[in-house]
Chains A and B, each alone.
Chain A
Amino acid sequence: MDKTVGSLAEAVSRIGDGAHVMIGGFGGSGAPIELIHALIDRYRATGHPKDLTVINNNAGNGHVGLAALIEQRMVKKLICSFPRSADPKVFTDLYLAGEIELELVPQGTLAERIRAGGAGIPAFYTPTAYGTDLARGKKIEEFDGRPYVQERWLKADVAIVKAYRADRHGNLVYSKAARNFNPLMCMAAAHTIVQVEEIVEPGGIDPEVVVTPGIFVQSVVCVTDPQQEEDLNRQGAHHP
């Protein structure tokens, strides 16, 4: 069993128009910048994929990564908790012009909805957002005398995520707080594509410390020295 693919371009080659795409990371931490840029490069060469629905905690920052994806007008709708950043101009301009849809979800509910998608739980109840605008139109049920909001699972056609190290079976470990949404998104997508700094043989990761078991991963691509969104933005980088 070998889930490695040879290039970033090959890794993102099968993402289709209209796909629901989960993109890992919290801000720039754990964001798969190289995979996102490969997707942009493909779009600029072929016109595909377009009309994407993207699930991420944020809406990008500056002109690289998710912000660059939005800037290319590849994203029809964004599902996120916090579309603000140091430089949110790309998303903000399109949103205020009514040219991108936004589904705003509380951060913990977003995480739990993604986990539910991966775990085969179609709906659950949470106290979060009860009595607020973000619960409008949602089913309310009382348990033990307290009201809760019903929330639905979130699934995706594809997840593109970043980890630190993988073995050829797709077992993953992460680096520090770059873990965040990545392990959940691996679970919730039909096809999960991971970029890692290092690929080792099976047995090269202690079974006790695996964070994402390989069953949740379909493709692994090696990016030995990945860029950090924060560094790129401090340099004023643009992609392309």
Chain B
Amino acid sequence: MIKKLLPHPALTITLIVVWMLLANQLTLGGLVLGVIIGVVIPILTSPFWPDRPRVRFGPATWIYIAVVLWDIVAASFQIAVIVLFRRSKDLRSAWLVVPLDVRSPEAITMLAGTISMTPGTVSCDVSSCGRALLVHALDTPDPAAEVARIKRRYEARLKKVFA
């Protein structure tokens, strides 16, 4: 019953927040409307999201978000430096293959997205079995270390979010 009514509780919360952001004012009426929307829309769209990934809103999640946000900022500076100052022929571009432990498509996507938004790496493809990510690194002296960093810094944390 609950599952039918709230197919994606996290989504419901997100939508309520989004609605409040859109409405741009904190009124009771707006909140009621937001709740209605947050409940109704996931029900309407649930056929398009048949899987139910379990997302935990624990500290792990917040830590993960913080780490990623920080890395995005750092990444940008790093890339900026490369873009501005590094000569093209000095670039140490490399392909990385990141073997995956996470299995849910949501988690893999999250990881891939994180990789893309963080320093010097863009995830380009998934293996056809879904167990490895193809990542392009703009400038990396040690590809293996980079892979290890990705698995440690992001994948390990993600596993806790998608428990």
Q: Do A and B bind each other?
A: no
Residues of B within 8 A of A (CB): none
